[in-house]
Structure 1
Amino acid sequence: MKLDYDLIDNADKRQYEFHVGSERPRLEYIRAKDKIYLTHTEVPHTLSGMGIGSALIGAALRDIKRQGLTLIPLCPFVALYLKRNPEWKELVLKGINIA
């Protein structure tokens, strides 16, 4: 299965999405001025274990960097992704520790 899906910023629903057939993996967020809070990642059960959640987070982080936003990771899966990919920690609000 390919993992190069187009990232969709569904601002009305406040979530990043991939369209994978009829499924919609999503990363929910709250945007406040120059900050973005990533609150919840959800991948349909039929797609779990395929790396789609990590691909979605990676694509969202590229978009967040492109926009110059400051990241506040509230979702445990996003925090784990940041721990495993420390090159993205530069986006995180100063003072938040991702060990």
Structure 2
Amino acid sequence: MNEVRDNRAEQEFTLEVDGERAVAAYQLYGDEIVFTHTVVPPAIEGRGVGSRLIRVALDSARDRGLKVVPQCPFVADFIRKHPGYRDLVA
């Protein structure tokens, strides 16, 4: 699988798989990162693409000392299922 990229200019994490692009969009406000929505194209759903994308995004937030606001239901659900990330929630 390809590498997750943080496109800071567009404020989105992206992951390309089989020519399809999954996106986790965010907005930065001071020391908070607000995840607004996640899109995984139907052609690559069910393969862990969204989870991989969000895991890297949350690890990046931790590395940057950012608090997370999980506006996106997918991100909120991921954090609920992975308690190791709950400390990031603003």
Same-fold call, TM cutoff 0.5: yes
Cα deviation, residue 19, structure 1: 1.9
Give aligned pairs, total. 90
What are the ranges of 5 or more consecutive residues in structure 2 without an aligned counterpart? none
**Structure-2 separation of matches of 1:33 and 1:21:** 35
In structure 2, the residue matched to 1:57 is 54
- CA RMSD, aligned part only? 1.0
Cα deviation, residue 21, structure 1: 3.3
Whose strand proportion is higher, 1 or 2?
Answer: 2
SS at match of 1:61: helix
Among 35, 39, 43, the alignment partner of 2:36 is: 39
Cα deviation, residue 33, structure 1: 1.4
Residue identity over aligned pairs, in percent, reads 36
Cα deviation, residue 42, structure 1: 0.3
SS at match of 1:18: strand
Q: How does 1:17-36 map to 2 (within 5 A)?
A: 17-36=14-33
- TM-score between both structures, scaled by the size of structure 1: 0.86
Among 65, 70, 74, the alignment partner of 1:73 is: 70
Paired letter, 1:54: S
- TM-score between both structures, scaled by the size of structure 2: 0.94
Structure number with bigger Rg: 1
